[in-house]
Structure 1
Amino acid sequence: MSSALSEAVLLGCVVLVGSSVQRLAGIGFALVAAPALVLLLGPGSGVVLANCGAGAISAIGLAGSWRRVRLGAMGPMVLAAACTVPAGSWVAARLPGPELLAGMGALVTVAVLLVMSGARLNGLRGMPGAFAAGAASGFMNASAGVGGPAVSLYAVNAGWSAREFVPNAQFYGVLVNAMSLSANGLPHLARTAWLLVAAGVAGGAVIGKALADRVPEQRARRIVLLLALAGGLTTLGKGLWGL
């Protein structure tokens, strides 16, 4: 098997895992897949492909749950993200590779630890909290491919149930990833790689939906966060090694 084909197969597998956990737990594509994609493709293309995959699997999940979206809360969040996505894209384009890897790994690690701790922050409540979460998420999504933790922290502080969180996170994921892609452009991949990535998204949607009926919600979220923490630490380590 050629090196290009091996890389394409690895990309497809990473996207398959990321899509499965996103469909299973409502979050997790970027947290699980972005560090691996960055290690495979480099910071620029890895982040953009993470945006593509996260946006696609969010759209698939949203198709059956869009009626439960809270536009009153998500509108300010999306507006704030639109203001900070260009800044995140600008930073990502100018940081050298090792610094970007280290920064991304640190962002993922800290974000996961905050979500795991169920941090309660007064600043993440009500309308001001929605603006703050959206601003942080938009910047992180465009620069590191991981905008979900800020939205998850907002949901924790707003007291949302998982049933409320999932459709809103998917709605937000579609829009913020579309904005990030408009700022960063599409990754340059071979046709075979694109086909395997698309197959990974489709396969992950099916697998995640099947697992959602069998795996308890709390266990699924714990698995997602542990995988994300491992990926964040690995990416941080590689970035620090390259400095």
Structure 2
Amino acid sequence: MTTGLLIVVLTSIFIGAVAQRIAGLGFALLISPFLVIILGAHGGVLMVNVCGLISSLLIMFRVWKEVDWSMYRWLSVAAIIGTIPASIAAVYLPAAPMAVIVGGIVLVALGASLVLARNSVVVTGNRAKAIAGFASGVTNAVAGVGGPAVSAYAVLARWPQRPFAATLQPFFVTMGIVTLGVKLIVAPGQMPPFSTLAWILIGVLIVAGIYAGEQLQKHISDEHVRFGVIVIAFIGAAAAMAKGLFDLYA
């Protein structure tokens, strides 16, 4: 990987960590399409899984007291059920169709979130939690994007922002561990070939992004953050789909 591409990867990871700390999600939505373009479909999604796990693990300890553990259990059990077969399937999907799938999932998820934000429907009950968790596990394994399904549930269930954002962190950690474990068992050679220095820089920028997010959180509203995440993610998803379609038909 050239120095220029590494800088783009590191910048994407830093911005994603900032969004994750402010809004509770947004890391994968922001960086998944871009990393798929730079690292390829399989390497990009796996990299999102790794970085998402690290960032959520770091944030989790800072929001521990606000986690809704009952909600976490319902979401996580269903997510694991969806994650395991989806992770195995993702390993064997061809790269070009997978890039199209990643971009498509992000675009559909973003569109659905915009529609649901204007919806007056309210959902209740454990079945809705399980469906959201299962869908999140599948999309996280295939596209590295697990947030939209639970975000849609949060909107429809009127789940307050602070416990929602806090609960997502152990939830993402659980999904990340299962997803990475399955993928690396099935195909241990998929991990992106970064140097030791590059991995150190990735870790440093995730920490720096979380710290920056904490400082910005005091001055930026959740609405502005979500708008920025949506705009950037739309651009990245469209680019990922375009690249996948080009590779598919070239």
Q: TM-score, normalised by structure 2?
A: 0.90
The equivalent residue for 2:103 is 105
The equivalent residue for 1:236 is 241
Cα distance in 2 between the residues matched to 1:148 and 1:187: 23
How far off is 1:9 after superposition?
Answer: 2.4
**1:142 and 2:147 correspond:** no
Cα distance in 1 between the residues matched to 2:229 and 2:124: 25
The equivalent residue for 1:16 is 14
Residue of 202, 208, 211 corresponding to 1:197: 202
Cα distance in 2 between the residues matched to 1:6 and 1:191: 17
Counterpart code for 1:75: R
Q: 1:181 to 1:146 in 2, by over 3 A?
A: same
Cα distance in 1 between the residues matched to 2:94 and 2:200: 30
Cα distance in 2 between the residues matched to 1:126 and 1:222: 29
Q: Which stretch shows the higher mean deviation, 112-121 or 207-216?
A: 112-121
Cα distance in 1 between the residues matched to 2:240 and 2:71: 33
How far off is 1:166 after superposition?
Answer: 0.8
Judge conservation of contact 1:8–1:192 (CA < 8 Å) in 2. no
The equivalent residue for 2:222 is 217
How far off is 1:187 after superposition?
Answer: 3.8
Taking every aligned residue pair, what percent have the same amino acid on both sides?
30
Counterpart code for 1:76: W
Q: TM-score, normalised by structure 1?
A: 0.93
Cα distance in 2 between the residues matched to 1:123 and 1:65: 26
The C-alpha deviation readout for 1:132-189, integer Å capped at 9, x for no partner, is: 0111110111111000001111111111121121101112111111111111224432
Note the 1:40-51 alignment, pairs <5 A: 40-51=38-49
Cα distance in 2 between the residues matched to 1:71 and 1:233: 36
Cα distance in 1 between the residues matched to 2:205 and 2:18: 9
Counterpart code for 2:222: E
The C-alpha deviation readout for 1:100-132, integer Å capped at 9, x for no partner, is: 000110001000111122265979642001110
Cα distance in 2 between the residues matched to 1:23 and 1:224: 12
Q: 1:151 to 1:121 in 2, by over 3 A?
A: farther
Matched residue SS, 1:27: coil
Alignment: residue pair count: 241
How far off is 1:7 after superposition?
Answer: 2.9
How far off is 1:90 after superposition?
Answer: 2.1
The equivalent residue for 1:91 is 89
Judge conservation of contact 1:124–1:133 (CA < 8 Å) in 2. no
Cα distance in 2 between the residues matched to 1:192 and 1:121: 49
Gaps in structure 2 of 5+ consecutive residues: 185-190
Matched residue SS, 1:155: helix
Q: 1:91 to 1:238 in 2, by over 3 A?
A: same
Q: 1:237 to 1:65 in 2, by over 3 A?
A: same
Judge conservation of contact 1:11–1:193 (CA < 8 Å) in 2. no
Note the 1:119-198 alignment, pairs <5 A: 125-185=124-184, 186-198=191-203
**1:208 and 2:213 correspond:** yes
Matched residue SS, 1:6: helix
